[in-house]
Amino acid sequence: MFFPLFTGNGGPPGPAVFNRRGKPGAAAASGLFALLCVLFVSCATVDPYVPVDQLVENENFAGGAAALESESKSIYRAKDRVLYCLDKGMLNHYAKDWGASSSLLQEGEKAIEANYAVSIHQEFETFLLNDRSREYDGEDYEDIYLNVFNALNYYHRGSMDEALVEIRRMNNKIKNLSVKYGVINTRLQQAALGNNTQVPANPDSPVKFNDSALARYMGMLFYRGAGMYDDARIDQRQLKVAMADAPSIYYNKAPASADAELAIPQGMARLNVLGFTGRAPIKTEEVIRVPLGVNWIKIALPVMTPRPSAIVSVEAALDSGEKFTLELLEDISAVVSETFIQRKNVIYAKSIIRASVKGTAAAVFTALGESDSDNAGIFALLGIAGQAFAEGSEKADLRVSHYFPGKAYVGGINVKPGTYSFTVTFRDANNQVIATQRHEGVTVNAGRLNLTEAVCLR
Protein backbone atom coordinates (compact mmCIF):
# COMPACT_ATOMS: atom_id res chain seq x y z
CA MET A 1 0.00 0.00 0.00
CA PHE A 2 1.42 3.38 -0.94
CA PHE A 3 -0.51 5.88 1.19
CA PRO A 4 -3.07 5.89 4.04
CA LEU A 5 -6.44 5.46 2.39
CA PHE A 6 -9.90 6.92 2.87
CA THR A 7 -12.45 4.78 1.09
CA GLY A 8 -15.95 5.56 -0.07
CA ASN A 9 -17.66 7.93 -2.46
CA GLY A 10 -17.22 10.92 -0.19
CA GLY A 11 -13.99 12.68 0.77
CA PRO A 12 -12.40 15.50 2.66
CA PRO A 13 -13.18 19.06 1.59
CA GLY A 14 -11.01 20.81 -0.97
CA PRO A 15 -8.10 23.10 -0.08
CA ALA A 16 -8.92 26.31 1.76
CA VAL A 17 -8.56 29.46 -0.34
CA PHE A 18 -7.91 32.72 1.54
CA ASN A 19 -8.72 36.20 0.30
CA ARG A 20 -5.59 38.24 -0.24
CA ARG A 21 -5.49 41.85 -1.37
CA GLY A 22 -8.86 41.78 -3.07
CA LYS A 23 -8.19 38.57 -4.96
CA PRO A 24 -10.86 35.84 -5.31
CA GLY A 25 -11.77 34.47 -1.88
CA ALA A 26 -13.14 31.22 -0.50
CA ALA A 27 -16.69 31.70 -1.73
CA ALA A 28 -15.68 32.47 -5.30
CA ALA A 29 -13.07 29.75 -5.32
CA SER A 30 -15.51 27.18 -3.98
CA GLY A 31 -18.00 28.18 -6.64
CA LEU A 32 -15.40 27.72 -9.36
CA PHE A 33 -14.39 24.37 -7.91
CA ALA A 34 -17.98 23.18 -7.97
CA LEU A 35 -18.48 24.42 -11.53
CA LEU A 36 -15.34 22.70 -12.77
CA CYS A 37 -16.35 19.46 -11.10
CA VAL A 38 -19.74 19.60 -12.80
CA LEU A 39 -18.06 20.02 -16.17
CA PHE A 40 -16.33 16.67 -15.73
CA VAL A 41 -19.30 14.71 -14.38
CA SER A 42 -21.44 12.96 -17.00
CA CYS A 43 -25.16 13.44 -16.87
CA ALA A 44 -27.22 10.42 -15.93
CA THR A 45 -28.59 8.67 -18.97
CA VAL A 46 -30.86 5.75 -19.58
CA ASP A 47 -28.95 2.47 -19.79
CA PRO A 48 -28.81 1.70 -23.53
CA TYR A 49 -28.55 -2.02 -22.75
CA VAL A 50 -32.09 -2.11 -21.28
CA PRO A 51 -34.01 -2.92 -24.50
CA VAL A 52 -31.43 -5.58 -25.36
CA ASP A 53 -31.54 -7.10 -21.87
CA GLN A 54 -35.32 -7.38 -21.92
CA LEU A 55 -35.18 -9.50 -25.06
CA VAL A 56 -32.27 -11.58 -23.78
CA GLU A 57 -34.01 -12.39 -20.50
CA ASN A 58 -36.92 -13.77 -22.53
CA GLU A 59 -34.54 -15.95 -24.56
CA ASN A 60 -35.18 -13.89 -27.70
CA PHE A 61 -31.51 -13.85 -28.61
CA ALA A 62 -31.94 -13.05 -32.29
CA GLY A 63 -34.09 -10.07 -31.31
CA GLY A 64 -31.47 -9.08 -28.74
CA ALA A 65 -28.72 -9.14 -31.37
CA ALA A 66 -30.84 -6.95 -33.66
CA ALA A 67 -31.60 -4.53 -30.82
CA LEU A 68 -27.93 -4.38 -29.91
CA GLU A 69 -27.09 -3.45 -33.48
CA SER A 70 -29.68 -0.65 -33.50
CA GLU A 71 -28.36 0.69 -30.17
CA SER A 72 -24.69 0.19 -31.03
CA LYS A 73 -23.92 3.88 -31.62
CA SER A 74 -25.16 4.82 -28.15
CA ILE A 75 -23.40 1.88 -26.45
CA TYR A 76 -19.99 1.71 -28.13
CA ARG A 77 -17.34 4.25 -29.09
CA ALA A 78 -14.75 3.66 -31.80
CA LYS A 79 -12.39 2.46 -29.04
CA ASP A 80 -14.89 -0.18 -27.91
CA ARG A 81 -14.81 -2.43 -30.96
CA VAL A 82 -13.79 -5.43 -28.83
CA LEU A 83 -16.89 -5.01 -26.66
CA TYR A 84 -19.16 -4.85 -29.70
CA CYS A 85 -17.64 -8.03 -31.12
CA LEU A 86 -17.97 -9.91 -27.84
CA ASP A 87 -21.51 -8.77 -27.04
CA LYS A 88 -22.95 -9.37 -30.47
CA GLY A 89 -20.86 -12.50 -31.01
CA MET A 90 -22.28 -14.05 -27.85
CA LEU A 91 -25.88 -13.12 -28.71
CA ASN A 92 -25.42 -14.57 -32.19
CA HIS A 93 -24.13 -17.76 -30.60
CA TYR A 94 -27.19 -18.09 -28.36
CA ALA A 95 -29.36 -17.40 -31.41
CA LYS A 96 -27.59 -20.32 -33.18
CA ASP A 97 -26.13 -18.09 -35.88
CA TRP A 98 -22.86 -19.97 -35.60
CA GLY A 99 -21.10 -18.44 -38.59
CA ALA A 100 -21.80 -14.81 -37.61
CA SER A 101 -20.85 -15.55 -34.01
CA SER A 102 -17.56 -17.13 -35.05
CA SER A 103 -16.62 -14.19 -37.27
CA LEU A 104 -17.28 -11.66 -34.51
CA LEU A 105 -15.52 -13.62 -31.77
CA GLN A 106 -12.48 -14.11 -34.01
CA GLU A 107 -12.43 -10.40 -34.82
CA GLY A 108 -12.70 -9.61 -31.12
CA GLU A 109 -9.83 -11.97 -30.29
CA LYS A 110 -7.57 -10.38 -32.92
CA ALA A 111 -8.46 -6.91 -31.63
CA ILE A 112 -7.65 -7.95 -28.05
CA GLU A 113 -4.21 -9.11 -29.19
CA ALA A 114 -3.62 -5.91 -31.16
CA ASN A 115 -4.86 -3.58 -28.42
CA TYR A 116 -2.74 -5.28 -25.78
CA ALA A 117 0.32 -3.96 -27.58
CA VAL A 118 -0.90 -0.37 -27.25
CA SER A 119 0.87 2.52 -28.88
CA ILE A 120 3.03 4.89 -26.82
CA HIS A 121 0.54 7.67 -27.57
CA GLN A 122 -2.39 5.76 -26.10
CA GLU A 123 -0.39 4.76 -23.03
CA PHE A 124 0.54 8.41 -22.48
CA GLU A 125 -3.11 9.44 -22.66
CA THR A 126 -4.05 6.99 -19.91
CA PHE A 127 -1.62 8.73 -17.54
CA LEU A 128 -3.13 12.14 -18.35
CA LEU A 129 -6.83 11.22 -18.22
CA ASN A 130 -7.98 7.66 -17.42
CA ASP A 131 -8.01 4.16 -18.87
CA ARG A 132 -11.09 4.88 -20.98
CA SER A 133 -8.88 6.92 -23.28
CA ARG A 134 -7.30 3.77 -24.70
CA GLU A 135 -8.61 1.02 -26.92
CA TYR A 136 -10.41 -1.63 -24.87
CA ASP A 137 -8.21 -4.72 -24.77
CA GLY A 138 -10.61 -7.06 -22.97
CA GLU A 139 -10.64 -8.70 -19.57
CA ASP A 140 -8.72 -11.94 -19.17
CA TYR A 141 -11.88 -14.00 -18.77
CA GLU A 142 -13.32 -12.54 -21.98
CA ASP A 143 -10.21 -13.51 -23.91
CA ILE A 144 -10.33 -16.99 -22.37
CA TYR A 145 -14.02 -17.83 -22.71
CA LEU A 146 -14.48 -16.52 -26.23
CA ASN A 147 -12.55 -19.62 -27.29
CA VAL A 148 -15.09 -21.86 -25.52
CA PHE A 149 -17.96 -20.43 -27.52
CA ASN A 150 -16.00 -20.32 -30.75
CA ALA A 151 -15.19 -24.00 -30.21
CA LEU A 152 -18.92 -24.65 -29.88
CA ASN A 153 -19.54 -22.59 -33.02
CA TYR A 154 -17.13 -24.83 -34.92
CA TYR A 155 -18.66 -28.00 -33.47
CA HIS A 156 -22.15 -26.97 -34.57
CA ARG A 157 -20.76 -26.27 -38.04
CA GLY A 158 -19.21 -29.75 -38.19
CA SER A 159 -15.57 -28.66 -37.82
CA MET A 160 -14.22 -30.77 -34.96
CA ASP A 161 -10.54 -30.05 -35.72
CA GLU A 162 -11.09 -26.29 -35.49
CA ALA A 163 -13.09 -26.78 -32.28
CA LEU A 164 -10.12 -28.55 -30.69
CA VAL A 165 -7.79 -25.74 -31.80
CA GLU A 166 -9.97 -23.26 -29.91
CA ILE A 167 -9.80 -25.34 -26.72
CA ARG A 168 -6.01 -25.53 -26.97
CA ARG A 169 -5.84 -21.77 -27.44
CA MET A 170 -7.90 -21.29 -24.30
CA ASN A 171 -5.62 -23.54 -22.26
CA ASN A 172 -2.51 -21.73 -23.51
CA LYS A 173 -3.96 -18.35 -22.55
CA ILE A 174 -4.68 -19.53 -19.01
CA LYS A 175 -1.12 -20.83 -18.62
CA ASN A 176 0.32 -17.51 -19.86
CA LEU A 177 -1.55 -15.29 -17.38
CA SER A 178 1.37 -15.09 -14.93
CA VAL A 179 3.83 -14.23 -17.71
CA LYS A 180 1.50 -11.55 -19.02
CA TYR A 181 1.28 -9.74 -15.68
CA GLY A 182 5.01 -9.99 -15.10
CA VAL A 183 5.50 -7.95 -18.28
CA ILE A 184 2.80 -5.43 -17.33
CA ASN A 185 4.23 -4.85 -13.85
CA THR A 186 7.71 -4.24 -15.28
CA ARG A 187 6.26 -1.59 -17.61
CA LEU A 188 4.44 0.03 -14.68
CA GLN A 189 7.62 0.25 -12.63
CA GLN A 190 9.42 1.88 -15.53
CA ALA A 191 6.59 4.40 -15.92
CA ALA A 192 6.74 5.20 -12.19
CA LEU A 193 10.47 5.91 -12.42
CA GLY A 194 9.89 8.12 -15.45
CA ASN A 195 7.30 10.17 -13.56
CA ASN A 196 9.35 10.34 -10.33
CA THR A 197 6.57 8.67 -8.37
CA GLN A 198 6.70 5.75 -5.99
CA VAL A 199 7.56 2.48 -7.70
CA PRO A 200 4.81 -0.12 -7.17
CA ALA A 201 5.91 -3.53 -6.00
CA ASN A 202 5.03 -6.61 -7.97
CA PRO A 203 1.76 -7.98 -6.57
CA ASP A 204 2.23 -11.10 -4.47
CA SER A 205 -1.17 -12.54 -5.35
CA PRO A 206 -0.75 -14.73 -8.43
CA VAL A 207 -3.82 -15.87 -10.31
CA LYS A 208 -5.11 -19.10 -8.76
CA PHE A 209 -6.58 -20.29 -12.03
CA ASN A 210 -4.21 -22.45 -14.02
CA ASP A 211 -6.60 -24.76 -15.84
CA SER A 212 -10.26 -24.79 -16.79
CA ALA A 213 -12.54 -27.71 -15.98
CA LEU A 214 -14.91 -26.50 -18.69
CA ALA A 215 -12.13 -26.53 -21.29
CA ARG A 216 -11.06 -30.00 -20.16
CA TYR A 217 -14.63 -31.27 -20.27
CA MET A 218 -15.15 -29.96 -23.79
CA GLY A 219 -11.79 -31.33 -24.87
CA MET A 220 -12.82 -34.74 -23.53
CA LEU A 221 -16.07 -34.63 -25.51
CA PHE A 222 -14.47 -33.37 -28.71
CA TYR A 223 -11.64 -35.92 -28.59
CA ARG A 224 -14.19 -38.68 -27.97
CA GLY A 225 -16.24 -37.43 -30.92
CA ALA A 226 -13.11 -37.51 -33.09
CA GLY A 227 -12.32 -41.06 -31.93
CA MET A 228 -9.17 -39.92 -30.07
CA TYR A 229 -9.79 -41.83 -26.84
CA ASP A 230 -6.29 -41.54 -25.35
CA ASP A 231 -6.48 -37.75 -25.55
CA ALA A 232 -10.04 -37.86 -24.22
CA ARG A 233 -8.87 -39.84 -21.17
CA ILE A 234 -6.12 -37.30 -20.50
CA ASP A 235 -8.63 -34.45 -20.42
CA GLN A 236 -10.99 -36.53 -18.29
CA ARG A 237 -8.24 -36.87 -15.67
CA GLN A 238 -7.09 -33.25 -15.99
CA LEU A 239 -10.65 -32.05 -15.38
CA LYS A 240 -10.42 -33.36 -11.82
CA VAL A 241 -6.89 -32.00 -11.38
CA ALA A 242 -8.01 -28.54 -12.49
CA MET A 243 -10.82 -28.54 -9.94
CA ALA A 244 -8.59 -29.81 -7.12
CA ASP A 245 -5.92 -27.16 -7.82
CA ALA A 246 -8.34 -24.22 -7.49
CA PRO A 247 -10.71 -24.87 -4.55
CA SER A 248 -11.68 -21.21 -4.28
CA ILE A 249 -13.15 -21.42 -7.78
CA TYR A 250 -14.24 -25.06 -7.84
CA TYR A 251 -16.13 -25.26 -4.57
CA ASN A 252 -18.40 -27.83 -6.22
CA LYS A 253 -17.67 -31.53 -6.73
CA ALA A 254 -16.52 -32.87 -10.07
CA PRO A 255 -19.60 -33.91 -12.09
CA ALA A 256 -20.30 -37.60 -11.63
CA SER A 257 -21.47 -37.79 -15.23
CA ALA A 258 -17.94 -37.03 -16.45
CA ASP A 259 -16.86 -40.54 -15.40
CA ALA A 260 -19.45 -42.07 -17.74
CA GLU A 261 -18.44 -40.11 -20.82
CA LEU A 262 -15.88 -42.67 -21.97
CA ALA A 263 -17.85 -45.76 -20.96
CA ILE A 264 -20.74 -45.80 -23.43
CA PRO A 265 -22.15 -49.34 -23.82
CA GLN A 266 -21.81 -51.06 -27.17
CA GLY A 267 -24.68 -50.20 -29.51
CA MET A 268 -25.77 -47.19 -27.43
CA ALA A 269 -25.38 -43.48 -28.11
CA ARG A 270 -24.84 -40.61 -25.70
CA LEU A 271 -26.74 -37.33 -25.58
CA ASN A 272 -24.88 -34.47 -23.88
CA VAL A 273 -26.37 -31.15 -22.80
CA LEU A 274 -24.41 -28.04 -21.85
CA GLY A 275 -26.42 -25.60 -19.74
CA PHE A 276 -25.41 -21.93 -19.39
CA THR A 277 -27.16 -19.79 -16.79
CA GLY A 278 -27.04 -16.26 -15.41
CA ARG A 279 -24.63 -13.60 -16.55
CA ALA A 280 -21.02 -12.86 -15.66
CA PRO A 281 -20.26 -9.88 -13.38
CA ILE A 282 -20.18 -6.26 -14.53
CA LYS A 283 -17.99 -3.45 -13.23
CA THR A 284 -18.93 -0.75 -10.75
CA GLU A 285 -16.77 2.09 -9.45
CA GLU A 286 -15.02 2.29 -6.08
CA VAL A 287 -13.53 5.66 -5.10
CA ILE A 288 -10.52 5.95 -2.80
CA ARG A 289 -9.20 9.27 -1.43
CA VAL A 290 -5.50 9.58 -0.62
CA PRO A 291 -4.13 12.61 1.34
CA LEU A 292 -1.48 14.66 -0.47
CA GLY A 293 -0.45 17.58 1.71
CA VAL A 294 -3.44 19.89 2.21
CA ASN A 295 -5.02 18.41 -0.91
CA TRP A 296 -6.00 14.87 -1.73
CA ILE A 297 -5.90 12.67 -4.77
CA LYS A 298 -8.80 10.64 -6.03
CA ILE A 299 -8.40 7.07 -7.24
CA ALA A 300 -11.33 5.46 -9.05
CA LEU A 301 -11.12 1.69 -9.36
CA PRO A 302 -13.35 -0.77 -11.21
CA VAL A 303 -14.82 -3.52 -9.05
CA MET A 304 -16.30 -6.72 -10.43
CA THR A 305 -19.88 -6.87 -9.16
CA PRO A 306 -21.80 -10.16 -9.45
CA ARG A 307 -25.16 -10.35 -11.17
CA PRO A 308 -26.95 -12.99 -9.10
CA SER A 309 -29.06 -15.61 -10.83
CA ALA A 310 -31.98 -17.36 -9.15
CA ILE A 311 -31.24 -20.56 -11.10
CA VAL A 312 -29.72 -23.29 -8.93
CA SER A 313 -30.67 -26.47 -10.80
CA VAL A 314 -31.08 -27.62 -14.38
CA GLU A 315 -32.80 -30.82 -15.55
CA ALA A 316 -33.32 -32.42 -18.95
CA ALA A 317 -36.41 -34.64 -19.46
CA LEU A 318 -36.82 -36.66 -22.64
CA ASP A 319 -40.31 -37.13 -24.03
CA SER A 320 -39.62 -40.88 -23.86
CA GLY A 321 -39.54 -40.63 -20.06
CA GLU A 322 -35.81 -40.58 -19.19
CA LYS A 323 -34.45 -37.69 -17.10
CA PHE A 324 -31.05 -36.49 -16.05
CA THR A 325 -29.76 -33.62 -13.93
CA LEU A 326 -27.16 -31.21 -15.23
CA GLU A 327 -24.37 -30.75 -12.67
CA LEU A 328 -22.49 -27.53 -12.00
CA LEU A 329 -19.09 -27.75 -13.65
CA GLU A 330 -17.69 -24.20 -13.70
CA ASP A 331 -18.74 -21.05 -11.88
CA ILE A 332 -17.64 -18.59 -14.54
CA SER A 333 -18.37 -15.67 -12.21
CA ALA A 334 -15.82 -17.06 -9.74
CA VAL A 335 -13.26 -17.33 -12.54
CA VAL A 336 -14.00 -13.70 -13.49
CA SER A 337 -13.34 -12.52 -9.92
CA GLU A 338 -10.13 -14.55 -9.59
CA THR A 339 -8.60 -13.50 -12.91
CA PHE A 340 -9.45 -9.85 -12.23
CA ILE A 341 -7.33 -9.73 -9.06
CA GLN A 342 -4.05 -9.30 -10.91
CA ARG A 343 -5.51 -6.75 -13.29
CA LYS A 344 -6.99 -4.76 -10.41
CA ASN A 345 -3.56 -4.66 -8.74
CA VAL A 346 -2.16 -3.23 -11.96
CA ILE A 347 -4.99 -0.69 -12.26
CA TYR A 348 -4.45 0.42 -8.65
CA ALA A 349 -0.70 0.91 -9.14
CA LYS A 350 -1.24 2.80 -12.38
CA SER A 351 -3.96 4.96 -10.83
CA ILE A 352 -1.63 5.91 -7.96
CA ILE A 353 0.97 7.07 -10.47
CA ARG A 354 -1.56 9.01 -12.54
CA ALA A 355 -3.37 10.57 -9.59
CA SER A 356 -0.08 11.58 -7.95
CA VAL A 357 0.96 13.47 -11.08
CA LYS A 358 -2.40 15.28 -11.23
CA GLY A 359 -2.47 16.00 -7.51
CA THR A 360 1.11 17.26 -7.44
CA ALA A 361 0.35 19.78 -10.20
CA ALA A 362 -2.56 21.19 -8.20
CA ALA A 363 -0.45 21.34 -5.03
CA VAL A 364 2.31 23.26 -6.85
CA PHE A 365 -0.14 26.02 -7.86
CA THR A 366 -1.44 26.24 -4.29
CA ALA A 367 2.10 26.53 -2.93
CA LEU A 368 2.97 29.23 -5.47
CA GLY A 369 -0.06 31.22 -4.36
CA GLU A 370 1.10 31.10 -0.75
CA SER A 371 4.56 32.37 -1.68
CA ASP A 372 3.50 35.05 -4.23
CA SER A 373 1.04 37.42 -2.60
CA ASP A 374 0.65 39.57 -5.73
CA ASN A 375 -0.68 36.63 -7.78
CA ALA A 376 -2.16 34.62 -4.93
CA GLY A 377 -5.66 34.71 -6.34
CA ILE A 378 -4.62 33.53 -9.79
CA PHE A 379 -2.51 30.69 -8.43
CA ALA A 380 -5.29 29.74 -6.05
CA LEU A 381 -7.73 29.46 -8.94
CA LEU A 382 -5.21 27.44 -10.95
CA GLY A 383 -4.73 25.14 -7.99
CA ILE A 384 -8.49 24.69 -7.67
CA ALA A 385 -8.78 24.10 -11.42
CA GLY A 386 -6.05 21.48 -11.22
CA GLN A 387 -7.78 19.79 -8.31
CA ALA A 388 -11.08 19.87 -10.17
CA PHE A 389 -9.47 18.39 -13.27
CA ALA A 390 -7.93 15.62 -11.19
CA GLU A 391 -11.31 15.00 -9.55
CA GLY A 392 -13.37 15.02 -12.73
CA SER A 393 -11.00 13.19 -15.07
CA GLU A 394 -10.22 10.33 -12.71
CA LYS A 395 -12.90 7.79 -13.57
CA ALA A 396 -12.84 4.03 -13.47
CA ASP A 397 -12.96 2.18 -16.76
CA LEU A 398 -16.21 0.28 -16.41
CA ARG A 399 -16.19 -1.26 -19.86
CA VAL A 400 -16.94 -4.98 -19.84
CA SER A 401 -18.92 -7.40 -21.99
CA HIS A 402 -22.51 -8.04 -20.95
CA TYR A 403 -23.51 -11.46 -22.26
CA PHE A 404 -21.08 -14.12 -21.11
CA PRO A 405 -22.92 -16.59 -18.85
CA GLY A 406 -22.36 -16.88 -15.10
CA LYS A 407 -22.28 -20.68 -14.74
CA ALA A 408 -21.81 -23.79 -16.86
CA TYR A 409 -23.74 -27.02 -16.13
CA VAL A 410 -23.12 -30.38 -17.83
CA GLY A 411 -24.91 -33.68 -18.13
CA GLY A 412 -25.40 -36.71 -20.35
CA ILE A 413 -27.43 -39.86 -20.80
CA ASN A 414 -26.96 -43.10 -22.74
CA VAL A 415 -29.84 -43.87 -25.11
CA LYS A 416 -30.48 -46.00 -28.14
CA PRO A 417 -29.60 -44.26 -31.42
CA GLY A 418 -32.55 -42.34 -32.76
CA THR A 419 -34.34 -39.00 -32.77
CA TYR A 420 -35.38 -37.42 -29.46
CA SER A 421 -37.28 -34.41 -28.21
CA PHE A 422 -36.73 -33.14 -24.70
CA THR A 423 -37.33 -30.24 -22.33
CA VAL A 424 -34.69 -28.48 -20.24
CA THR A 425 -36.05 -26.95 -17.05
CA PHE A 426 -34.33 -24.25 -14.99
CA ARG A 427 -35.40 -24.00 -11.31
CA ASP A 428 -34.68 -21.81 -8.30
CA ALA A 429 -33.81 -22.80 -4.73
CA ASN A 430 -37.50 -23.42 -3.94
CA ASN A 431 -37.78 -25.78 -6.92
CA GLN A 432 -39.94 -23.25 -8.71
CA VAL A 433 -39.64 -23.26 -12.51
CA ILE A 434 -37.91 -20.16 -13.84
CA ALA A 435 -37.83 -21.17 -17.50
CA THR A 436 -38.15 -24.16 -19.82
CA GLN A 437 -36.67 -24.79 -23.24
CA ARG A 438 -37.84 -27.29 -25.84
CA HIS A 439 -35.48 -29.17 -28.12
CA GLU A 440 -37.31 -30.92 -30.93
CA GLY A 441 -36.12 -33.74 -33.17
CA VAL A 442 -32.51 -34.04 -31.98
CA THR A 443 -30.69 -36.85 -33.79
CA VAL A 444 -28.51 -38.98 -31.50
CA ASN A 445 -26.02 -41.21 -33.31
CA ALA A 446 -23.77 -43.96 -31.95
CA GLY A 447 -20.03 -43.34 -32.19
CA ARG A 448 -20.46 -39.58 -32.49
CA LEU A 449 -20.66 -36.53 -30.22
CA ASN A 450 -24.27 -35.45 -29.80
CA LEU A 451 -24.06 -32.12 -27.98
CA THR A 452 -26.91 -29.65 -27.37
CA GLU A 453 -26.85 -26.30 -25.56
CA ALA A 454 -29.52 -24.85 -23.27
CA VAL A 455 -29.22 -21.19 -22.26
CA CYS A 456 -31.08 -19.09 -19.72
CA LEU A 457 -29.37 -15.81 -18.81
CA ARG A 458 -31.84 -14.85 -16.06
For residue 289, the model assigns a pLDDT of 81
| Total tally of structural domains belonging to the chain | 1
Parent domain of 448: 1-38+265-458
Angle 305-310-312 from CA coordinates, rounded to 5°: 110
For residue 145, the model assigns a pLDDT of 97
For residue 308, the model assigns a pLDDT of 94
Answer whether 254's CB lies under 8 Å from 217's CB: no
In a domain, 46, yes or no: no
Mean pLDDT per block of 10 residues along the chain (458 residues) reads: 36 37 44 47 67 96 98 95 98 98 98 76 56 87 97 97 95 79 49 49 61 96 96 96 93 96 97 98 90 72 95 98 98 94 81 67 53 59 57 82 98 98 98 98 97 98
**Helix, strand, coil tally for the chain in percent (to 5):** 50, 20, 30
For residue 118, the model assigns a pLDDT of 66
For residue 11, the model assigns a pLDDT of 41
**CA–CA separation, 451 and 224 (whole Å):** 12
**CA–CA separation, 381 and 359 (whole Å):** 15
> Which among 315, 326, 186, 182 has a CA at the least distance from the CA of 257?
326
In a domain, 1, yes or no: yes
Amino acid at 394: E
In a domain, 222, yes or no: no
In a domain, 157, yes or no: no
In a domain, 165, yes or no: no
> Which among 279, 349, 409, 338 has a CA at the least distance from the CA of 141?
338
**CA–CA separation, 397 and 378 (whole Å):** 33
Q: What 3-state class would DSSP assign to 382?
A: helix
Answer whether 24's CB lies under 8 Å from 381's CB: yes
For residue 324, the model assigns a pLDDT of 98
For residue 36, the model assigns a pLDDT of 46
| Element containing residue 306 per DSSP (H, E) | strand 295-307
**CA–CA separation, 140 and 179 (whole Å):** 13
In a domain, 290, yes or no: yes
For residue 343, the model assigns a pLDDT of 83
For residue 290, the model assigns a pLDDT of 74
Enter the pTM of the model: 0.80
- DSSP β-ladder status, 269-277 and 450-456: parallel
> Which among 192, 199, 241 has a CA at the least distance from the CA of 219?
241
In a domain, 13, yes or no: yes
Answer whether 238's CB lies under 8 Å from 211's CB: yes
For residue 344, the model assigns a pLDDT of 85
For residue 317, the model assigns a pLDDT of 98
In a domain, 257, yes or no: no
For residue 378, the model assigns a pLDDT of 65
